[in-house]
A and B are shown apart, each in its own frame.
Chain A
Amino acid sequence: MGTFLIVSIDNEHKNIINEINSEIIRIEDKFSRYKENSLVYKINSNKGKWIDVDEEFLYVIKTSLYLYDLSNGAFNPLIGEIENEWGFYDGNYKIPDDDLLKNLLKNIDKKNIKIDEENKKIMIENGSLDFGGIVKGYALDKIKEILTKNNVREAIVNLGGNILVFGNRKFKIGVKNPREDGIIHVFEIDGNNTVATSGDYENYFIENGKRYHHIINPENGKPAESGLIEVSVVSRSGIMGDGLSTTLFVLGKEKGKDLIKYYFPDVNVLFVDEKLNKELIK
């Protein structure tokens, strides 16, 4: 599928783009569900077998499962097969029948993921791992390390809509209006933050006047109908912000606010509902 990268940086450091590109490709090559040489592909195609992984892989899967636990499964790293049934990967859009969804839902409980931390091994019994909801944010965290290492003073990185602002000043980041052209909100944020946005306008199809979007509710295997159409999260941690934007979209505003209040008091969140009402949580 690929994605795009926009880096805004000073002339002196422009060659860092090569290092950033290489790092993103390294992450893609490891965490992609579709690349036949990736670790995720290997785990998914060897169900019931222990596969050797490394610290980085353990960190990403444990972060996914942390969000799974906090959200009672609203964030689910096994949801990919269900997304595929809806055609959100290849554009062959269709509404899957309920029996098929029921069968696939049996595979997405986290008990299907076994982790042996001591020996750094992972086994999937059913379902397929998919880190699409978290890996772009993780890549931004790694890009932040590259910028720090190279003594970059200021940069803005946009990786497929997820943004990292880097530097010692206030930045203004707009959030796309989910229904009209233009932006619906502007975050004024300190440097070294990330902004992740999930919306029902990114990948969707319309059938009989109803919009079916790609953010699946793991409770029923259908596009989430939480009353929200866009959630944007400002977070120091790219991986957490990316995962949270999906999680909060599925949970809805009230449950989402509780989650933020108890577990993520430092993040800022913009909720946009179906009537384009905005609520900002700081």
Chain B
Amino acid sequence: MKKLDRILIYSLIPFLIFTIFYFNFNNNKKYLTVIVKGEEKNYSLFENKIITVNGDLGEVKIEIKNGKARIIESNCKEKLCIKRGWISIIGEYSACLPNRVFIIIKGRSDIDGVSE
């Protein structure tokens, strides 16, 4: 199988809403994909900004700064998403499961995945 054929599929279990997208191998730069309740949107990691999205429980704030991203505000109880801190490497991700918000860094990489 050629790498170009590969697609990624996301799912937040037990929530069965998932999305499919194609790897953008033409883009040399890494970028951030934000998935909210199955809807996804891409952001440059090199324009510093705060993104506010509406999760299942309420607003979730995501900060993009100098090629990194992190969840900085969420009304979930555990705050595991905030404790997760910055993500910066292609394949790294952070999730606020109660809000069904998932962020992942994408781009061209020879790393196949990140375990944590």
Q: Give residues in A with beta carbon < 8 Å to B.
A: 1-11, 14, 17, 21, 24-25, 28, 90-92, 153-154, 156, 158, 161-163, 165, 167, 171-176, 181-183, 186, 195-197, 199, 201-204, 232
Contact = CB atoms under 8 A, between A and B. Distances in A.
Main SS of chain A's interface residues?
strand
Contact of A90 (B8, B10, B77, B116): B77
Chain B interface size, as a band, is: 35 or more
Nearest to B35: A4
B50 interface: no
Given A3-B97, A4-B95, A181-B86, A174 B13 contact: no
Nearest to A196: B115
Interface string B6-20: 111111111110101
Interface in B1-43: 1, 5-16, 18, 20
Contact of B113 (A5, A10, A173): A173
B85 A8 contact: no
A6 B9 contact: yes
Contacts of A195: 113, 115
A195 to B, nearest CB: 4
B115 A232 contact: yes
A3 B12 CA distance: 6
Contacts of B84: 201
A183 B89 contact: yes
Given A17-B11, A21-B16, A181-B86, A158 B111 contact: no
A90 B76 CA distance: 10
A187 to B, nearest CB: 8
Contacts of A28: 13-14
Nearest to B102: A4
Interface string B69-113: 000000011111001111111011101010000101000001111
Contact of A161 (B7, B9, B10, B115): B115
Contacts, number: 138
A25 B11 CA distance: 12
Contact of A163 (B10, B11, B18, B113): B113
Contacts of A6: 8-11, 93, 104, 113
A153 B2 CA distance: 11
Contacts of B85: 181
A173 B114 CA distance: 6
B92 A14 contact: no
A173 B111 contact: yes
B68 A181 contact: yes
B13 A21 contact: yes
Contacts of A176: 92, 114-116
Contacts of A11: 5, 7
B89 A202 contact: no
A7 B9 contact: yes
Contacts of A156: 112-113
A143 B116 CA distance: 19
A10 B1 contact: yes
A9 B7 contact: yes
A11 B86 CA distance: 31
B13 A24 contact: yes
Contact of B88 (A8, A92, A181, A202): A181
20 contacts: A8-B7, A10-B5, A14-B20, A24-B13, A28-B14, A154-B1, A158-B113, A162-B115, A172-B111, A173-B112, A173-B113, A173-B115, A174-B113, A174-B115, A175-B114, A175-B115, A176-B114, A176-B116, A181-B87, A202-B116
